[in-house]
Amino acid sequence: MSRNDTLFARSQTHIPGGVNSPVRAFRSVGGTPRFFERGQGPHVWDADGKRYIDYIGSWGPLILGHAHPDIVEAVCATARSGMSYGAPTEREAEMAETLCRLVPSLEMVRLTSSGTEACMSAVRLARGFTGRNRIVKFEGCYHGHGDSLLVKAGSGMLTFGNPDSAGVPADLAAHTLVLQYNDIEGVKQVFAEMGDTIAAIIVEPVVGNMNLVAPEPGFLETLREVCTRHGSVLIFDEVMTGFRVALGGAQAHYGITPDLSTFGKVVGGGMPLAVFGGRADIMKHLAPLGPVYQAGTLSGNPVAVAAGLAQLKHLQTPGFHDALAAKTRALVDGMVGAAHDTGVAFSGQSVGGMFGVYFSAAVPKSYPEVMDSDRERFNRFFHHMLDAGVYLAPSAFEAGFVSAAHTDADIAETVAAARAAFAAL
């Protein structure tokens, strides 16, 4: 029995499912999850000493790769002075100033510890600002595990939300309207019927939680238009896309200005840190200035902020995101080419440093199209790649991430592994 097997069996005794976040359990793909002991650059090593080329990167934060020396030094130096104070520090002001300079839509920000916390706080703030209860989200978009956001659609174009998790009250979920991503006409219809009762739209501008789904031309523009017309708050969930698809996030990439935004992952450099922010007139409704309450003992933790600042400094290097996007396109183009050479129905796309691959002839544009892809074939492909030393997300419904540390040799090795996997399918 491998050490991975042993550790997984041990973990299941006192941790539900043996993991502290469900997708890590490999339930979707089968088999034993890998327990990692170290990472360096684009590589990770598991408990059995096997090396993998990592395309998860802690689900997106590690845009510079694992254990970048400048981030490690920032963490160590800060920790030597104290791990946490529960009081303000100068670095928090520096982080706020940096974010507001890099993302023009941000006039004020509040630091939190997780993307879930940032998203649920942004929704609460939008409701408090507008005095309305209803929110709109899109099927397949994930905004953390806040009660209002763990909602799925039923049949039909528009569905009043049904709880997607036990423990979420149905009457709370009923305030969430669920639409199809990229359905422009559906958005217009809902706002024509009830726009003046909707507090906010929350959306991943590029979806990373049903694999990668990019916005169709006009979709984000429509969201901006209906929110402006009806006095609703447009919230961009940039927890994944922020500073990964462009220096100013997806909003800079597509030229759309949201009212509020949430950021996480890359912002923290691998440490627990997230942000929500936006228009000053909205943000001033937060306590202690206004009636919308939000707080956190570890918000603005000095060690996490130091890691985030060290990472953001590197991302401002001219040409950084262009180089990352080119590297990511090379990976996707190589895998798609290998699939076509072997006659496998396979497609892929990338936006910045994020990518999606699908066992379908065409790139999906919505949740139903993603669900129509061949999941069983993906699962076999995943294990072929894992055996070859390539670590992809253990689910057909998660985006992948390339880091600046991935080399041309890593890309070539991955494409070669994919070619062999396609041939074996």
Catalytic positions, please? 142, 237, 265
* Close Cβ partners of 148 (under 8 Å, ≥ 6 residues apart): 120, 123, 135, 172, 173, 175, 176
367 alpha-carbon distance from chain centroid: 16
In three-state secondary structure terms, 124 is: helix
Residue 175 phi, psi dihedral angles, 5° rounding: -80, -5
Task: Report helix angle 320-341 to 408-424, nearest 10.
Answer: 20
Q: How far apart are CA 175 and CA 178, in angstroms?
A: 10
In sequence order, what DSSP letters do the residues of 298-351 get, joined into one string?
A: TTT-HHHHHHHHHHHHHHTSTTHHHHHHHHHHHHHHHHHHHHHHTT---EEEEE
Closest by alpha carbon to 137, among 171, 83, 77, 186?
186
Residue 227's alpha-carbon distances to 40, 130, 200, 239, in angstroms, are 44, 12, 7, 21
Q: How far apart are CA 159 and CA 141, in angstroms?
A: 15
Q: Tokens 């540390």, residue?
A: 405
- Exposed/middle/buried for 295, CB within 10 Å: 0-12, 13-18, 19+? exposed
Paired tokens of 229? 């017309």
